[in-house]
Amino acid sequence: MIRTLVIGFGNAYRRDDGVGYAVLNALRGRLGRPLLDADDDGYDDLGHPVDTLLLHQLVPELAANLAGYELVVFVDAHMGTIPEPIRQEELTACYRAATVSHQVHPCTLLAMAQELYGHSPRGILLSIRGHDFDFGEGLSPETQALVPEAVDRLLALAGSAG
């Protein structure tokens, strides 16, 4: 069976930026797995056909994890500059600038996995439209309403991968 990793990332204290967390737990619920609290990254619960990780942001050492999978789906919020409520984008393994921050772009992680560990999985960015990025917990109703469809897409991707 082809192994899949779903990475939800964002800041759960910035409302819709935490949609990755909401989608990840909704997915875990559909898979019959216990939910993660907002501070639990999920590293202690790897080893399933569909694994999940919850992160504040993407970091370079993730490249080693990626190399062990055939499919990696990154789940994040997107802003109004992207018209679709949910966008599914095939990623290429290449460097993408993060300017002055320690953050790493998903494409960069894929490239690092290829260069450092000899294998880059298929990468997909599943992004969900956010409406409210203010300080606070909980999603806006508009973004919350997109969570079930995002989970459906993840399950379809994982199923097709499997």
Partner 1 sequence: MGQKITIEPITRIEGHARVTINLDDAGKVEHAYFHVDQFRGFEKFCQGRMFFEMPAITPRICGICPVSHHLASAKACDMIAGVRPPRPAQLLRELMHMGQFIQSHSMHFFHLASPDLILGFDADPKIRNIVGIIEANPGLALKAVKLRKYGQEVIRTLSGRRIHPKFAVPGGVNKALTAQERDELLAPIDEMIGYMQEGLALAKQWLGANQELVQRFANFRTGYLGMVDADTGAVQLYDGPIRLIDRDGKRLEQFDGTRYLDYIREHVEDWSYLKFPYYKKLGWPDGVYRVAPLGRLNVADCISTPIANEEFEKFKAISKGPVEPTLYMHYARLIEDIYAAERARELLEDPDILSTEIINESTAITGEGVGVIEAPRGTLWHHYWTDENGQITQVNLIVATGNNNWAMCTAVDSVAKEFIDGKNLTEGMLNRVEAAIRAYDPCLSCSTHAIGQMPLVVEVRGSDGALVNRVQRG
End-to-end CA distance of the chain: 5
Binding string, residues 26-55; x marks residues near partner 1 by CB under 8 A: ------------xxxx-x-----------x
Q: Assess contact for 111 and 60: CB atoms under 8 A.
A: no
Q: CB burial class (10 A; 0-12, 13-18, 19+) of residue 110?
A: buried
Residues 6+ apart with CB under 8 A from 98: 104, 105, 108
- 47/101 with CB nearer partner 1: 101
| Contact positions with partner 1 (CB under 8 A) in 72-131 | 76-82, 87, 94-97, 99-104, 108, 111-112, 115-116, 125, 127, 130
Selected range binding partner 1 among 8-16, 26-34, 150-158, rule: CB under 8 A: 8-16
Q: Assess contact for 53 and 5: CB atoms under 8 A.
A: yes
Q: Does 153 bind partner 1 (CB under 8 A)?
A: no
What residues line the site for partner 1 (CB under 8 A)?
Answer: 9-14, 16-17, 38-41, 43, 55-57, 59-61, 63-64, 76-82, 87, 94-97, 99-104, 108, 111-112, 115-116, 125, 127, 130, 133-136
